[in-house]
Each structure stands twice: as C-alpha cells, then as structure tokens.
A and B are shown apart, each in its own frame.
Chain A
Amino acid sequence: MCRLALKTAREPFSPYDVLTAMEAMQEGYDGSGLGLLLRGMEFEDFRYNPKFPILSGIAESEKAWRRLDSFMEERGYELKYDHKFHMKRAHMNGKDRYRYFVRAYRMPDRFADADQDARETELLKTRLALRRDGEEHGGDLSVFSFWPDVTMIKEVGWPLQVGNTLSLHDGQIKARVCMAQGRQNTNYGINLYACHPFFIQGIATMTNGENTAFVPIRDWLIGRNLPGYIGYQSDSEVFTHILHYTLKHLKLPLQIYKHIITPLNAAELDKHPQGDFLKGLRDACRRLIIDGPNAVIGTLPDETCLLVMDHKKLRPATVGGREGVWAIASEMCGVDAMIPDRDPALDFQPMREHTVIIPPQRKELTVWSQYEQFPLSQAA
C-alpha cells in the first residue's frame, strides 16, 4: 500500500517538509516511485508570475533536451525561467537522468485574447505532444505537467533520497500546496508515468490502494476519445480523469464526484432529497463506480484540496491542522510530521460517505456527507 501526504498552507513551504512526512510513513512503500506535485509556486531566484505555465518533466539525454527546446520555441512559447536543481548525483541509485526540468513559459502571442478554455486546451495538447514525442524516441523525454503554478517531479527511488538528489531542502523551491506519494508498485510495471499524483488540466489526485474496477473504467474513458484520457499505466489514474470528467466535461459541482465514484444504494437514495437525480446519475455513470480499497487525495486549480474514501473504506487517511495550514496523510504519523503543533483531538478521519474539503482560504475544514443535499440546478 502506498503512502500519501499532502500539506497546504497560506505561506509557501519547502517540499522537503512533505518528504519528511513520507519518511515517517516509510514502511508503506518500496522505493518503486515517488511523485511530487507542487502548487502555488515560489522560487528563490525568480519572481514567478502565476500566469506563466510551468513545464515539468525529465529529459534523458541532451538530444531530447534540444528537441524539447526547439519544439517549445516553434510552438511560440517564450522561456521565462529555467530552474536548475542543485543535483547531488551521489544520492541517486537509479538511472542517471540528464536533466530534471522546471521551466516557466510565456504563452504564444496568438493566445493573448484567447478565452480560458482555449488556453487550457493548448496547454494540454502541448503536454501530450511532448509526451508522444518522448515515447516515439524510446522514452527519452517525460513530461508530467504543463500548467500555471504547478510543478511535478517523479522518480524511482525512496522519497528522501530523491529529495536529497534534487536538493529540495535548499529552499530554492517553495509551494503553498505539496502532495507526495511513495509508490508501492503493485500490479502494473515500474514506469515514471505510473507514479502518482496524476495530473490533467490543473486537477491532480493520488491514491493508496488498488482500484479493482480499473479495466472497465479505463475502457470506458478511452472510448470517450477525449484528449488526455490516455496512459493508464496505473489503476489509480482513472480517479484523476473521473474528477476531471466530472468537473470539466459534465460541469458538475465537486460534491458530485463522490456520488459518481461511490453512489449510494437504492434504499439510501430513496431518502435523499435529490435521490431521483442521483439515481439517474448513478445509472448514467455506473461504469465509473470505483472498487477500492482507496483513499483519494487531490487538489484543484484554485488550491482546494480534497480527501475521499471508496465505499469499503478499507484504507486509512487522516486530516488535521489549524487555521492557515492543513495536512492530509494516509497515516496519522504523516500528519504529525507535517504539522506537529496542531491539536490532534481535532483530527478527522472521514467515513465512506464523506468528502473532506480544504477550501483555498484554509480557514477550516469542510466535511460534506453524501446524505446531504447540495446546490445543483439540474437536480431541482
């Protein structure tokens, strides 16, 4: 079972904080992968403007690196900042990567007057084109995210070791939201893209466990023919795509996510104030019902963070913190490591009907129950 840690704070902090939480929970993973997602970026040597999309990934060779450079240039992107990790290769026991890159770009001029949708689609398509390019060249280029204010790092290895290799403790990179997952490689092969968190258009989730309903869900998502619904080296990637599908394609509120992945049963829906709508939704989205055990932790473009469980609730997850700073982790010791000075009595472990939300203001937790009514015009 993987270990998960997420910290969100008003003041940007070093991702190393979250890696120490991973260290506290170290018995739960095997070094087959670490994924890090940072949102709300701050760089020591650059005044970052959050409207610049950040491209993050790995180039395995100089050739791949040159290809990436010229591709972005041809597409009209202007490089604003290129972060140089202070690499300590002695700590690296896996493959010696040519370059980890975190680069901020200005969008091409043709998007100056474009609406939000067009810009978001362009970012997605650029990331996919780069990913495809890497795959066509023997996997020499991996791109994990291309989105404003978001950086992603993925590597095979133990979390702290990866952090030390990249000198993440040096304070050069900070973020307001950081999520990390130590991967216990299960049924699918070791592959950088298979490391959580998974990312699509600003939406990211990570999971500890196994989604046994993966194959039918994957088949259905692929059948949609929507850009970005590809990959699926991990059974957990569908959680991200279902969240994306719910919010971006169906344009439904966040509360619906839980109703889609783990609908209530018929008897419970009979009593629900929006039971009629939800029953229909359950039928329409029956193919997206997940079968855990899983705890799903995610963040949204507005820095909202969330935690939901599958219906069996056989995976642990705890949320705790205080005003301004909150942490979600798969183990209590992970929360302790990230926010030691909180009141642990106020920690919350969601039940299967709950969605825990940490809103962008980070004042307090919101806990939604599936049994409650929620605002939705369609359900009237």
Chain B
Amino acid sequence: MVPIRTIPVEPGSLTYPDLPWIIEHREDRCTLCGHCTTVCPKECLHLAYRRQRMPRLDVLSNKRGSEYRTFTGIRQRTDMAHACIGCGMCAMVCPNEAIMPVPNSVERRTLFFTNQKGEAAKRGGRRNAPGATLLDRIIFDRISMLTDPALDAGRHEFTVTTTIGRILSPEDYLARRLDGGWIPTTREVFPFIIGSMSFGALSPNMWLGLLQGVAYCNEVLGIPVVMCTGEGGCPPWVLKSPYLKYIILQIASGYFGWDEIIRAIPEMQCDPAAIEIKYGQGAKPGDGGLLMWYKVSKLIARLRGVPEGVDLPSPPVHQTLYSIEESVMKMIQTLSMAFGHKVPVYPKISASTSAKAVLNNLVRNPYAGGLLIDGIDGGTGAAYNVSMDATGHPVASNVRECYLDLCAQGMQNELPIYAAGGIGKNGNVAQNGMALIMLGASAVHIGKYIMQATAGCLGNEQNRCNVCNLGICPKGITSQNPKLYRRLDPDQVAERVAETFMTIQTEVKKIMAPLGRSQSLPIGMSDAIGISDKDAADRLQIKYVC
C-alpha cells in the first residue's frame, strides 16, 4: 500500500518528550539576541516564527472574536543529528536566564534511533553509570587513635611520591651494584598522573594548558606531576624542550607520531618520564582510537605524518602487537633500548580477567617498568556506545588481584601496578585514588577528572555532552576547530591544573595523616580500608564494616 503523507510523521520522527534533553525557553525573558543559537554545538536551536491567538471579548457589544500575534521564538530540533545534548552552553551565554536544557525523566526513545545511516552509536566521554562507584564506597577507617594521635596534615612532613619503573629486589640491587650491572631507571613522581589523552583528541590549547600547568606544578609548586600524551605523538618543540621530562610518551597501535619522536631523539635535552605502550583501553577494550577526519587538522596531520582531513582510526591491535608475549620481546625491549635503557617502559592494558597472566609475563621481563590497568569506567575521546557502557572489567578487583598475586610471589611493587578508569568519576578524586593505592596500585592515572576540573568539561554521568568525538566540543577541549578551541585559554587551564594538584596533594595528606602515614605512600595498606558491602569486602580482601 502506498503511504499517504497527510501528516509529516516518519518512522524516525521524534518529538520533545522523546529526547534526552528538553530546551526550556522563557519567551518573556528572551531578547532574541541570538547568543544561544550561535553557540549551540549541535545547532539544535533555531529561530522560528510563531503565531498566537489572542481571544477578544467585547463585553458591551457581547461580541467574541480573535486576534493573532506573530512573534519570533526559539524552537528545538527533534531529529537525531541535532538532538540537544544538554551541554548547557545556551544557558551559559544567555544574558537573561531565559533558556536552559532540562533532563527528560521519562523513557528516552532516542535509544532506538542512534543508528542513523547504519552506524552504531559512538560518543566520547565515559561509561554513564550514575551513582556512587565502588571506589566511592571505600572508607579509610584505621585511624591512629589509641596510642598515637593522628598526624597534622598541615604541619608534618609528608612523602607523597611514588615510582615509575622497575624496582629491583634488595638482593638483586646489591648484586648488580657489586658487578656493575644494569640498574633500571626509576622516576619519582606524584601518584596522580594525568592519563593518556591523545594529541589529536585534545585541542592544541588544552594540550598546551596542561603542559604549562604540569611544568608549573613541578618547577614552582614542587609537586612532581607527569602527564601522558596518548596516541598521536608530541609536538617537536616539546620533544626538544626541557619539559619532556614531565611527559610520558605513549605509543599506541597506530604508531601515530612516533616518526617525529624517533627523529627528535638526537636533539632531546632530557629523557621523557616514561614510555607507555597502549595495548588496550578500559573504556573500549578491543578498540583502537577513532579519530575522524574532522579532527585531523593541519597540525595533527603534520605530527602524525598523514594527510589532512582523512579518518585516522588506529587499529585495535597492530600486527606487531600480536600478543603480549611478542610485545615483551619486541616493543618493550626495543623502546627501552632506543632510550638507552634509561627510561621506564610499561604497557597499558584494559582491565580483564587475563590481566594477571599479562602481569606474570611482565614480572619475568627485566625491561618491563610496570603495568597500567585501565578499568571499564575509563574515558575516551571516541568509542562505540556499547563498548563504553557494557564492555570491560572494573579496575578495583583487577588491581587487587594482581597486587596479591605479586605479594604471593614476594615481588610486591617490584613491578609497579598503575590503575586507571573512573577515578574521580563523582568528584572524589583523592579518595578514589587513595583507595586504589591502598588496594595495591603504585599510582593512578586520571584523565576525564582533569578535563572536568581544569577545562570545565561539561560531560557528566547523565549522558551529558559527550561529543568529544565530533570535534564540536563546546568548551574547545577536544576540538580542532580554531573557532571553538580559541574559547579555551591555555593560561587559565594551566592555573586550574596547578589548583587541582595543590588540592589533591592536600587531600592526600588529609587521608594519610589520620592513618599515621607520612613517610611513604600507603601502597597496599589494606588494613586501612573498609567497605559496607560484604561481597566486595570478601572479593577485595579488605574489612567489612557496617
């Protein structure tokens, strides 16, 4: 039967209550300045003419009638491509508080329509699972109270650093000192590391702001923060600068940017903090990077050694990263050698049930400098929705399992374990990080928290914003469009980086002080933590408290 289009309704037609966000517009306050429509990254607002009937009643002549007024109002588009993402930029720029997006509390029908043009839904951000995470529920309960008063976080001296790199057993260390053998290099760093966010994913202003902030933390505040580059390399001027020592260079499955790095080696003034080899990412296990053409600007193209404006998806597993065993032979040793065995090299894997096998493989490789385990709550610039929401493994139990495995072998911390994925998801960054450290991690990597804290990233756990992959980031954090990233002032980002790390440092001390710890980071201090969930307590082998 031939359909009759008497009314404009199609299978994919949606209306306001079907969308995750509904624009509330107060016409009485609106001056029609147009700021909101200009700034909306999804172009979901548009001006439209509206007509309103004005009932008229002439009481004396007992006549009824109508008058009509025409006015310009703001309407919300309801097609998927232009659906509001709730970023709230309209509210941010409105001079009269006349507009804002409101989360829709009813069932969202858009879930059925996120496959436009046959493409599965993709987004940036991280798993949208609101509510307290397991890490949020861990409390620090071993308070020094009976014989020893708690320390004063403000006055006592605290050692809040950790090491990147392989740590020898005391016997090995002494034997190698005597024989003049090779002693792996270690770096003393702040235990909260800025996690890998690709140079291509972040805007140049964001990246510069982070680097400036990190340099300030190190050189002025004395907090030895390091940051990781992520896939895409590092600008040559940074590679040849003294700031390289604050940077962990990542080599990922696409090898993007490594030509530049290798070329810069002879001119490097100092060694990078470490080399991270990415095998997997907690937010999209089994996926590589998904940098699309609209984010491949001239600068990115030059750094990555590719043409401008072409899609650059990194392969999930490159041929040379065929297996972790092979990579032990090839990548770790090769990269360690490239830097004269003076730079710690460690792999990053997504948390999984096989993490322990990987760990045990690395433990027996003298060139492996650690293992980074990235959990399901980790963030990414772009991933399939289904990967982000439903694929992966939580980080806490994985890290704990690996740590206890090392303990059983008497090799605790010899191969440091780093944890990433969802630390600071609900804002409790120091608490989440310290909980993981007490479960056995030597340090934690934080990515999205840093973006949220330092650049005002709008993403939250209600599926808000999350358009990092589209290059339309309204704050200019993950966009390569100069019109957008000029909104972000690198100096202000740097200032926020410094503020953030000063705060984290204070909070870390506030956690360590009542536990009576000040001389070393409480790695594996599992007697200090408890949780009011019996099953979680059993699984993590920590105290059950209620």
Interface positions of A (Cβ within 8 A of B): 1, 184, 186-187, 209-210, 212-216, 219-220, 222-225, 245, 249-250, 252, 262, 265-266, 277, 280-281, 283-287, 289-293, 310-312, 314, 377-379
Q: Are A210 and B177 in contact (CB under 8 A)?
A: no
B517: Cβ under 8 A from any A Cβ? yes
| Bound Cα distance from A110 to B71, whole angstroms | 110
Shortest Cβ distance from B161 into A: residue: A266
- Most B-side CB within 10 Å, residue of A187, A219, A252, A277: A219
Complex interface: stretch among B125-133, B292-300, B407-415: B407-415
> Which residue among B146, B156, B518 has the maximum number of chain A CB atoms within 10 Å of its CB?
B518
Beta-carbon contact of A210 and B524 below 8 Å: no
Q: Which of A184, A223, A262, A314 contacts B410 (CB 8 A)?
A: A223
**Contact status B412-A378, CB under 8 Å:** no
Q: Which B residues lie within 8 Å of A289 (CB)?
A: 519-520
Size class of the contact patch on chain B: 35 or more
The reply to whether B148 and A210 form a contact with Cβ atoms under 8 Å apart is yes
Nearest B residue to A220 via CB reads B412
State the CA gap A290–B527 with chains docked (Å). Answer: 15
- Footprint of A on B, CB under 8 Å? 142, 144, 146-148, 151, 156-157, 159, 163, 167-174, 177-178, 183, 186, 188, 407-413, 515-520, 522-528
Is B148 a contact partner of A314 (Cβ separation < 8 A)? yes
Distance in angstroms from B3 CB to nearest chain A CB is 71
Docked-complex contact A284 and B168, CB < 8 angstroms: yes
| Beta-carbon contact of B527 and A214 below 8 Å | yes
- Contact indicator B519/A311 (Cβ below 8 Å): yes
Known contacts A213-B517, A225-B410, A265-B159, A249 near B171 by CB under 8 Å: yes
Q: A225-B410, A287-B412, A290-B519 are in contact. Are A215 and B173 (CB under 8 A)?
A: no
Residues B517 and A284 in contact, CB atoms below 8 Å apart: no
Taking the closest CB of chain A, its distance from the CB of B242, in whole angstroms, is 18
A224→B410 contact, CB < 8 A: yes
CB of A272 to closest CB in B, whole Å = 16
Say whether B527 contacts A215, CB under 8 Å.
yes
Name, among B157, B159, B168, the residue most crowded by chain A CB atoms within 10 Å (CB to CB).
Answer: B159
Instruction: List 10 A-B pairs, minimum CB-CB distance, nearest first.
Output: A223-B410, A212-B516, A284-B173, A216-B524, A289-B520, A215-B527, A284-B170, A291-B519, A210-B148, A378-B177
Q: Which residues of A contact B410 (CB under 8 A)?
A: 220, 222-225
Q: Are B148 and A213 in contact (CB under 8 A)?
A: no
Can you pick out 16 interface pairs between chain A and chain B where the beta carbons lie within 8 Å of each other? A210-B144, A212-B144, A212-B515, A213-B517, A215-B527, A222-B407, A245-B170, A250-B170, A265-B159, A266-B188, A277-B177, A281-B173, A311-B157, A311-B518, A314-B148, A379-B177
Considering the complex, give the chain A residue whose CB is closest to the CB of B186. A283
Nearest CB on B from A255, distance (A): 15
Q: Is the CB of B519 within 8 A of A213?
A: yes
Known A286-B413, A286-B520, A291-B518: A220·B407 in contact at CB below 8 Å: yes
Given contacts A219-B407, A219-B412, A314-B148, contact A283 B520 (CB under 8 A): no
How far in angstroms is the closest Cβ of chain A from B317? Answer: 33
Cβ–Cβ < 8 Å partners of B157 in chain A: 311
| Docked pose: A209 CA to B523 CA in angstroms | 21
Q: A289-B520, A291-B517 are in contact. List 19 more A-B contacts (CB 8 A).
A: A187-B146, A209-B147, A210-B144, A212-B148, A212-B525, A215-B526, A219-B524, A220-B410, A223-B412, A250-B171, A252-B174, A262-B519, A284-B173, A286-B163, A291-B516, A292-B519, A293-B148, A311-B518, A378-B177
Q: A291-B518, A378-B177 are in contact. Are A184 and B147 (CB under 8 A)?
A: yes
**In the complex, residue of chain B having the shortest beta-carbon distance to the beta carbon of A277:** B177
The CA of A83 and the CA of B89, in the complex, are separated in Å by 87
Tell me if A223 and B411 are in contact (CB < 8 A). yes
- On whether A209 and B148 interact (CB within 8 A), knowing A250-B171, A277-B177, the answer reads yes
Q: Are B525 and A215 within 8 A (Cβ)?
A: yes
